[in-house]
């Protein structure tokens, strides 16, 4: 049988869900020049963010490729390229890390790989596409004690999905968990997949006990438009959703507007906002120490959560993280701060790495979907440890909540 001849034309394409790249030159596989396409201009940050990329190359089986992201030096977090390795896949399911180098003087990221198949997908992190999101929603709604609510359309007309887990009733605590305000942080929805699988497992003791006392409200993807468009940090209008929680509007940030409306109606006793961090090689929490109402009881409850999380998994640590806000100096446009003050509740931003954790490294996959899913499942343990305190009446708690029932820091501020 005659061998099949290899294609001679190298093709770079990103016209698909979460795709992002602009091909400047692909005539020579040794110097494929690419640019990351920026998000729409963000008025809050006064810039056009970019760092996320996702594209496919065909026609390069057994051909050594040298891919150069020539505008990497102007990315939102250029310092984060140090120590970073790009992700690659042949089947869009399993991604592995490939040799990647950063030249800060030239401002260029270079990715080298010799494909073993005709098509190879490259990405900043393993993507979590909207079809997978739909599959997650469909599978979760079939579980007992789960109700699905489309709380409102995004700017592009996509549903913002809210999953209610557990029964409503008197004295039940309301736990809210949201993810992917920044759409390029795909690990956040992998985290949510693991959390939802565990939360809806009727044989999981943590889930069973928690649902006896609390109702969970989960938004796996706050930013479906940005996710589909291949944005790093913004929605279709260029809004950084994690800076819209002070005054969200239907015209600019309907995703936040709809979630906050439902929070006001149902109440909130614990809030978790799931993210990814480009620079820090660790999983960590950022609290709400800088909000006006933060007090000693809240600090003690936060400490209980941190200690419980450390006991639950070695993938969590409390040594590295963001600089802690001084009292009264919190940015009240950020979700975790706005919710903490609005509901006088325990509130965290959780961050995961794009690279890997420095304490438990995986040289082949780095921080990856399976680890993010396991990490998502593990968060039930610290929530459970806080349950006795959450069930106590809280002075200053919101009317809706009442009716329904410190780390060593880097110099980096909250994102």
Give yes or no: 351 in active site.
yes
> Angle at the Cα of 322 (from 320 to 328), degrees rounded to 5?
140
Question: What Cα–Cα distance (Å) separates residue 97 from each residue in 53, 85, 121, 125, 126?
Answer: 14, 6, 12, 9, 10
Whole-number Å distance between alpha carbons of 60 and 98:
15
- The active-site residue out of 35, 278, 351, 385 is 351
3-state secondary structure of 56: strand
Whole-number Å distance between alpha carbons of 233 and 137:
23
The H or E element containing residue 337 is helix 335-343
Which residues have C-beta within 8 Å of that of residue 355, sequence separation ≥ 6?
80, 83, 84, 85, 281, 366, 367
64 neighbors 31 (Cβ within 8 angstroms): no
188 neighbors 197 (Cβ within 8 angstroms): no
Whole-number Å distance between alpha carbons of 280 and 237:
28
Angle formed by the axes of helices 296-312 and 380-390, nearest 10°: 150
Which residues have C-beta within 8 Å of that of residue 188, sequence separation ≥ 6?
179, 180, 182, 274, 275, 276, 352, 372
| Parallel/antiparallel/unpaired status of strands 65-69 and 108-113 | antiparallel
- Which are the catalytic amino acids? 351
């Amino acid at each position: 049988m005659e061998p099949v001849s290899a294609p001679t034309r190298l093709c770079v394409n990103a016209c698909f869900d979460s795709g992002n790249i602009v091909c400047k030159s692909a005539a020579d596989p040794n110097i494929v020049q690419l640019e990351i396409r920026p998000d729409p201009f963000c008025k809050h940050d006064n810039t056009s963010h970019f760092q996320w990329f996702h594209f496919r190359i065909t026609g390069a089986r057994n051909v050594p490729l040298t891919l150069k992201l020539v505008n990497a030096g102007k990315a939102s977090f250029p310092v984060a390229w140090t120590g970073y390795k790009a992700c690659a896949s042949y089947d869009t399911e399993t991604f592995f890390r490939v040799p990647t180098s950063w030249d800060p003087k030239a401002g260029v990221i270079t990715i080298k790989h010799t494909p073993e198949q005709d098509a190879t997908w490259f990405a900043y992190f393993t993507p979590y596409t909207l079809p997978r999101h739909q599959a997650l929603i469909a599978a979760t709604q079939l579980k007992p004690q789960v109700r699905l609510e489309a709380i409102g359309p995004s700017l592009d007309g996509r549903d913002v999905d809210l999953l209610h887990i557990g029964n409503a009733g008197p004295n039940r605590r309301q736990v809210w968990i949201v993810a992917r305000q920044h759409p390029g942080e795909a690990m956040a929805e992998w985290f949510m997949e693991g959390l939802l699988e565990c939360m809806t497992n009727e044989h999981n003791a943590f889930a069973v006990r928690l649902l006896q006392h609390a109702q969970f409200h989960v938004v796996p993807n706050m930013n479906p438009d940005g996710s589909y468009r291949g944005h790093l940090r913004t929605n279709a209008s260029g809004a950084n959703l994690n800076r819209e929680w002070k005054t969200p509007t239907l015209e600019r940030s309907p995703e936040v507007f709809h979630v906050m409306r439902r929070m006001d109606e149902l109440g909130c006793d614990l809030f978790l906002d799931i993210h990814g961090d480009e620079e820090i090689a660790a999983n960590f929490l950022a609290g709400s120490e800088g909000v006006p109402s933060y007090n000693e009881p809240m600090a003690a409850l936060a400490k209980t959560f941190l200690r419980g999380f450390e006991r639950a998994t070695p993938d969590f640590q409390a040594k590295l993280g963001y600089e802690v806000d001084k009292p009264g100096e919190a940015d009240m446009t950020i979700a975790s701060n706005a919710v903490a003050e609005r509901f006088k509740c325990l509130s965290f931003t959780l961050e995961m790495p794009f690279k890997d954790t420095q304490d438990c490294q995986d040289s082949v996959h780095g921080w990856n979907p399976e680890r993010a899913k396991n990490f998502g499942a593990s968060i039930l343990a610290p929530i459970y440890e806080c349950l006795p305190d959450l069930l106590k009446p809280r002075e200053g708690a919101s009317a809706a909540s009442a009716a329904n029932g410190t780390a060593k820091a880097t110099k980096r501020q909250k994102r």
